[in-house]
Chain A
């Protein structure tokens, strides 16, 4: 049995929930606890109710659970929002100076903070307090506080260490009430702690990304921020462009001239890029697009999560041209696929998508390995000679890609239909048609390079669950909780093109249930369209939040 405990902190934007989360995940992980954290927040800088869930466990924990064991509301509104989620076993921690709630445990965080000099230290005191309840080594607590605050100067570091230690000591009076006993695992301290945005960004760097352009838009901005953070060490050109139209065109210019650019965006921003996507298709200029989904239409719910833009990614752009869409389900996949996206874009001279969403981007957990050794940056451009033709007709539809300034050839690319030299043409039944066929041939090549879906659970299944992207860990955790010998889970980390074997997996099932975090089942529709198999059983959620494990266990059990 897994022994875990979940802490939920909830309060107004600006009250410091985020800083407590940032501190605690580091402290717990470094002390050897398996850790998981995710957040949900309102689209505002101050006020409202934001919350973060931190789950501490003796075994790896990778998915969102809805139980709340310790609840720390920072405002009355926070209590109201979570009333339905707390139960008789939830311990509620408040500071009665500000908040009073029945059956809650009063801890004088603010009074302690005032003794140090300012209520501003309350958050660090809370972090120290919680660390102490879990018997975290005090040196790890101090070291983490030091690392996190180091940039802010000695005085702030010292005061925060004092605050953390005061919180740590304060907790000793309450050990008997909480009686927390979760096994640590020394190995965890040496593992990685990262969120989806980290995994995607690190993967991009490993894949040889050397430029990143974007216009800030939640939830895609975290990847942009990370790339900017890595830019000095790894020589990455960063530019915040005036709009998303400029972003994609800058990226295409960069690839054309030998760079490897990443663009990171979300729904509305990507909608603006669609003409540029079509330009990538026509000029056969590679590009890698990270599309972090959030609910639409239009501005939608800006800070919430949904897998609602699959159809957008599938059909964006006018005209017909090949594309690849990856949808990583865990940190390893995100790292691997993000790197792979650069190689595939370069190899097939096409746009490649990495699809994530707010939940995936903002969710942290510790993980043993990242497949650094299985990724490398592969360049496919060639040195050209005087006879070079950018769009030379070839057997498989792929022409060698030259770049200006490398060799003697001229690299001419055109958004119009063009001939082998990249010159405009209207020779409808001649070279124009050959160019269309050349691009269509690439569909066959990229289909051959499609990643197989992964099967979990029973090999001899009757009921097959299907998922893609960010629901991977949640469906997997649900599967482990449902004891049923007929059940398996087929996960797609590449959603387009679909792998040939998809049909075989479907054929072997008596019942197929597609699970998606959107309103209509966009992936289910795609499966039906591509394979001809009916996918009428669908578990869908689209209120702006991700599934929890408990919720999925219930829904799957009801449906099978």
Chain B
């Protein structure tokens, strides 16, 4: 059956790019959730991954490098009825946008954040990203990366992000289910997705991701924060699945006084009580 979210168009990614796999997964997730296209907004920054919304039939706000999260929050503030999904890369989300990543988690708007994590910069041609593994040699990091890679999952759990998961393009079924659950989850949901960059990352290939990941055991309880943190620190191999969920957090929009009175989005409201506005200053 046809997927109305799928746009027939030329796609500017390299042949064999992991982005294609993730695109397919996201499109299936949207279809299976039967989301209303008119109420689904994608937000992205800049990078190869950030082009993803261009290749779908959705509303989108393809903004500035690193700034998808504040824009997504602004959209939720204006209209909490919209399903807001951020899709961007590791450089965009964890590098340029690092500060917003921390504070948007604290804010906890009801948005889903899908991060294409290929551990390298693609659009700028092969420099290290915040998640590049140590010793990776690049045109800039000529002696190899010596910084400690950023661990987005442990960071998000430390900040009590309400939904924290890792998928991989090599595990499409699992990743699709994670994305669906993330969208259904009420609150900030992070799905970090491993994928290969065929042009610039010759270390972390499709094969490497297959060999260095495993699925979290089905008996694992994601509601235990300490356990989740411990699991997030595990590397080589890296666990895949839902690490942490906190179902008890109030979402940001609902904390705003204007939505306690009425659920109406801003565009439907008329402020007709401004006649008494000036009494404030008599």
Contact for B82 among A242, A377, A404, CB less than 8 A: A404
- Residue-by-residue, is A223-246 near B (CB-CB < 8 Å gives 1, otherwise 0)? 000000011111111110111011
Q: Is the CB of A415 within 8 A of B64?
A: yes
Chain B nearest CB: distance from A203 CB in Å?
10
Interchain Cβ contacts under 8 Å between A and B, 9 examples: A193-B282, A210-B269, A233-B273, A239-B77, A245-B70, A249-B74, A404-B41, A405-B79, A412-B54
Contact A404 B70 (CB under 8 A): no
Q: Which residues of B contact A403 (CB under 8 A)?
A: 79, 267
B78 touches A246 (CB 8 A): no
Most chain A CB atoms below 10 A, which of B41, B53, B58, B273: B41
Given A234-B271, A276-B64: A410 in contact with B58 (beta carbons within 8 A): yes
Bound complex: CA of A127 vs CA of B119, how far in Å? 66
Contact (Cβ within 8 A) B99 A243: yes
A370 at the interface (CB under 8 A from B): yes
Contacts of B74 in A (CB 8 A): 211, 213, 249-257, 259, 261
Q: Which A residues touch B282, using CB under 8 A?
A: 190-193
Query: In the complex the two chains form, what is the Cα distance from A134 to B268 in whole Å?
Result: 51
Within the complex, what minimum Cβ distance (angstroms) separates B82 from chain A? 6
Contact of A205 among B61, B107, B271 (CB under 8 A): B271
CB contacts under 8 Å to B, within A377-407, are 377, 379, 381, 403-407
CA distance A416 to B53 in the complex (A): 13
Inter-chain contacts of B257 with A (CB < 8 A): 231-232, 235
Given A211-B78, A231-B257: A253 touches B271 (CB 8 Å cut-off) = no
Whether A259 and B267, one on each chain, are in contact in the complex, defined by CB atoms closer than 8 angstroms, is yes
**Are B73 and A253 in contact (CB-based, < 8 A)?**
yes
A290 interface residue, CB < 8 Å from B?
no
In the assembly, what is the distance between CA of A210 and CA of B38, in Å?
23
Contact B103 A254, beta carbon cutoff 8 Å: no
CA distance A260 to B269 in the complex (A): 11
**B267 to nearest A CB, angstroms?**
3
Judging by beta carbons under 8 Å apart, are B75 and A242 in contact? no
Cα A258 to Cα B81 with chains together (Å): 12
- Our count of residue pairs bridging A and B at CB distance below 8 angstroms stands at 197
Q: Are B278 and A370 within 8 A (Cβ)?
A: yes
Chain A CB within 10 Å — which of B39, B58, B266, B277 has the most?
B266
Known contacts A235-B261, A242-B103, A257-B82: does B71 contact A249 (CB below 8 Å)? yes
Whether a CB of chain B sits under 8 angstroms from the CB of A275 is yes
B78 to chain A minimum Cβ distance, whole angstroms, is 4
Nearest residue in B to A426 (C-beta to C-beta)? B12
Closest residue of chain A to B99 (Cβ to Cβ) is A242
- For the complex with contacts A405-B38, A405-B59, 12 further pairs of A-B residues with Cβ separation under 8 Å are A210-B269, A242-B100, A246-B70, A253-B72, A257-B82, A257-B265, A283-B61, A404-B38, A405-B82, A412-B53, A423-B9, A424-B62
Indicate whether A198 reaches chain B with its CB closer than 8 angstroms. Answer: yes
Chain A residues whose C-beta falls within 8 Å of the C-beta of B60 in the assembled complex: 412-414, 422
Whose C-beta in chain A lies nearest to the C-beta of B66? Answer: A245
Contact B75 A415 (CB under 8 A): no
B57 at the interface (CB under 8 A from A): yes
9 closest A-B pairs (Cβ-Cβ)? Answer: A253-B74, A258-B267, A253-B71, A259-B78, A257-B78, A254-B74, A242-B103, A250-B74, A404-B59
Most buried by B among A211, A238, A258, A416: A258
Query: Which of B37, B54, B71 is within 8 Å of A250, CB to CB?
Result: B71
Q: Which of A230, A254, A411 contacts B78 (CB 8 A)?
A: A254
B21 at the interface (CB under 8 A from A): no
Given A211-B77, A231-B257, A235-B261: A406 and B99 within 8 A (CB)?
no
- Chain A interface residues (CB < 8 Å from chain B): 190-194, 198, 202, 205-206, 208, 210-211, 213, 230-239, 241-243, 245-247, 249-261, 275-276, 279, 283, 370, 372, 377, 379, 381, 403-408, 410-416, 422-424
Q: Which residue of B lies closest to A331 (CB)?
A: B281
CB-based contact A414/B70 at 8 Å: no
Q: Are A259 and B277 in contact (CB under 8 A)?
A: no
Q: Roughly how many angstroms separate A370 CA and B282 CA in the complex, as a whole number?
A: 11
Contacts of B103 in A (CB 8 A): 241-242, 246
Nearest B residue to A390 by beta-carbon distance? B59
User: Distance (Å) between the CB of A321 and the closest chain B CB?
Assistant: 14
Chain A residues with CB below 8 A from B266, complex form = 210-211, 237, 254, 257-260
Q: How long is the Cα–Cα vector from A250 to B77 in the complex, in angstroms?
A: 9
Classify the secondary structure of A's interface with B: mixed
* B54 & A198 in contact (Cβ 8 Å cutoff): no
Among B64, B71, B102, contact of A242 (Cβ-Cβ < 8 Å)? B102
Within 8 A of A (CB), among B115-146: none
The minimal Cβ–Cβ distance linking B266 to chain A, given in whole angstroms, is 4
**Which B residues lie within 8 Å of A279 (CB)?**
63-64, 67
Cβ-based interface call for B51 (8 A)? yes
Cβ of B165 to closest chain A Cβ, rounded Å = 24
Evaluate contact between A424 and B51: CB separation under 8 angstroms.
yes
Within the complex, the shortest CB–CB distance from B235 to chain A, in Å, comes to 29
Selected from A236, A252, A404, A424, the residue in CB contact (under 8 A) with B39 is A404
Q: A253 and B78: CB pair below 8 A?
A: yes
* B190 smallest CB distance to A (angstroms): 17
Q: Are A210 and B61 in contact (CB under 8 A)?
A: no
Q: Which residues of A contact B267 (CB under 8 A)?
A: 257-259, 379, 381, 403, 406
CB pair A416–B62 under 8 Å, yes or no, is yes
The answer to whether A235 and B64 have CB atoms under 8 Å apart is no
Chain B proximity of A298: nearest CB distance (Å)? 20
Q: Is B207 an interface residue when CB atoms closer than 8 A count as contact?
A: no
Asked if residues B77 and A237 are in contact (CB atoms below 8 Å), the reply is yes
0/1 per residue, B34-52, Cβ < 8 Å to A?
0001110101001000010
8 Å CB contact of B273 from A208, A234, A260: A234
For A372, the chain B residues whose CB sits under 8 A away are 274-275, 277-278
Q: Contact between B280 and A202 (Cβ–Cβ < 8 Å)?
A: yes
A147 CB, nearest partner CB in chain B, Å: 12
- The answer to whether A404 and B256 touch across the interface, beta carbons within 8 angstroms, is no
Q: Is B79 a contact partner of A234 (Cβ separation < 8 A)?
A: no
| Residue ID in chain A nearest B279 by CB atoms | A192
Cβ contact within 8 Å between B82 and A250: no
Instruction: Report if B258 contacts A (CB, 8 A).
Output: yes
Q: Which of B57, B67, B261, B277 contacts A245 (CB 8 A)?
A: B67
- Of A202, A210, A404, which is in contact with the most chain B CB atoms at under 10 Å from its CB? A404
